[in-house]
Structure 1
Amino acid sequence: MIGNNKIVAIIPARGGSKGIPRKNIKELNKKPLIAYSIEEALKSKYIDRVIVSTEDLEIANISKSFGAEIPFMRPDALARDNTPGIEPIIHCIEYLREVEKYDVQYIICLQCTTPLRTSVQIDEAIEKIVNSNNDSLVSVTESEISPFWMKKIVDDKLVDFIEDSTFYARRQDAPEVYTLNGAIYIAKTELLLKNRNWYTENTLSFIMDRVSSIDIDDLIDFKFAEFLLNHKENFKDEDII
């Protein structure tokens, strides 16, 4: 808790991942992937409860063994391939409010797929949004590829993706651009319930380094994350190209 604000972390983890079967509990460096997010959330100075939302009994049991709460099993209807990511978050908020009579001021979503995100970053993000009193906060990292240097193909010919991008003669001269990294989402609970979206006109950015932003989608990402866990003390962020 920070001030009088109750803060709950929700870690969504369904069992039916496609790219890597059972990805959320696949062992990364001899530990289930989901354990990294649970452990860092539990280290936070401000998070009051760490809840895993899952429909899968094995994921639930593993999550409990690492200290997360499983106050409910997620309905199967909210664990399908086409389920919008916000829906399990809304379901959890409504469960806490209606069943437990537990009101929360801020919700933070921590996806399993960014295992190198740290408790220090989580706490810095919480401090930033609470102290600013903005609606929400979403983490980003500097994009490896600038859209000003991207091309599209029209009639088999290369065309600038962004018109007049040739104005930037060197890549270093182009504006810095950022991409969502999926690591941290925070919002005021009431606004999240109202908008069913993390984004408003008052959404803050939280910039993270590229190593902490590693997002596991396929086996190549998985192996790269494993490599970084074993060797990250040897790298500076600018070394990851």
Structure 2
Amino acid sequence: MRFVGLITARGGSKGLPGKNTALAGGKPLINWSIEAAQKSLLERTIISTDSEDIAAICRAAGGEVPFMRPAELAQDDTPHIDVILHALDWLESNGDLPEYIVLLQPTSPMRQATDIDGAVRMAVDNDADSVISVFPAPVHPFWIRRLDASGRLEDFMKWPEQSGYLRRQVLPPAYALNGAIYVLRSRTLRENRNYFTDKTFGYVMSEENSTDIDTHADLLVADLLLKQRKE
């Protein structure tokens, strides 16, 4: 049973331009994912990018960039699953189709090799179709509201039978996807074009390791955390 890592890094980020190579903790953001993969149980990790600049940075960090992603798979509206399937097709055409592909997004620099290994072991132990990393939800779904057309607050979901204020301690645990790790069975992903089946398991990560970079503020926080971790 083989596990191959896949780091996807598009060059044309709009929300935070150049975020995949922005400096965090003294090195390009994507380098943290490359290093975590290198220290993990993954037998091989490849990078899919459309950017020659990103490819050069990855190779300098010891990353493997065996192909360049075609431009049509690097658009703002390109489904991520199509990028993964493209990488699987390349691996198969080169005689290296793994049982599982492990997606590692470069915007999760705090993810550790131990997190990757834990998710991989969970997939093996449960014969999972997929294992997806999560963390304790920062806001419980029972506390989320929506606004109607006039601005009035409405319940977003049906509350439990108890009335009144519900303390977090009495609510059922809730977890949010953190985007750090997706362990996906290659065959099932191809057949269903979906990350989720009835054999999808959640690998719980800490809040700190779940840090995701989407804005400049996120990058500043990650930079501080990574520097503190190095010290």
SS of 1:112's equivalent in the other structure is coil
Summarize deviations over 1:28-75 as a string: whole Å, max 9, x none: 12200000000010111x211110000100101111111111111000
Contact 2:25 2:222 in 1 (8 A): no
The amino acid of 2:174's aligned partner reads: V
Task: Report the 3-state secondary structure (helix = DSSP H, G, I; strand = E; otherwise coil) of the residue aligned with 1:18.
Answer: coil
Match runs of 1:25-44 below 5 Å? 25-44=21-40
Q: Give the corresponding residue for 2:136.
A: 142
Deviation digits for residues 146-200 of structure 1 (CA, Å, limit 9, x no counterpart): 1111222233322222233563532322211111000000011111111122111
- Give 2:63's aligned residue: 68
Match of 1:212 among 196, 209, 212: 209
1:86 matched to 2:81? The reply is yes
Structure 1 unaligned segments of length 5 or more: list them.
Answer: 235-241
* CA contact 1:53–1:74 (8 Å) conserved in 2: yes
Matched with 2:99 is: 105
Q: Distance in 1 between matches of 2:97 and 2:167?
A: 52
Contact 1:11 1:112 in 2 (8 A): yes
Q: Tell which has more relative contact order, 1 or 2 (C-alpha 8 A, sep 6+).
A: 2
User: Which residue number corresponds to residue 176 of structure 1?
Assistant: 173
| Contact 1:36-1:115 at 8 Å conserved across structures | yes
Identity of aligned residues (%): 41
Q: Work out the CA distance in 1 between the residues paired with 2:204 and 2:49.
A: 28
Q: Distance in 1 between matches of 2:67 and 2:38?
A: 19
The size of the alignment, in residue pairs, is 228
Shift of 1:232: 4.9
* Counterpart AA for 1:63: C
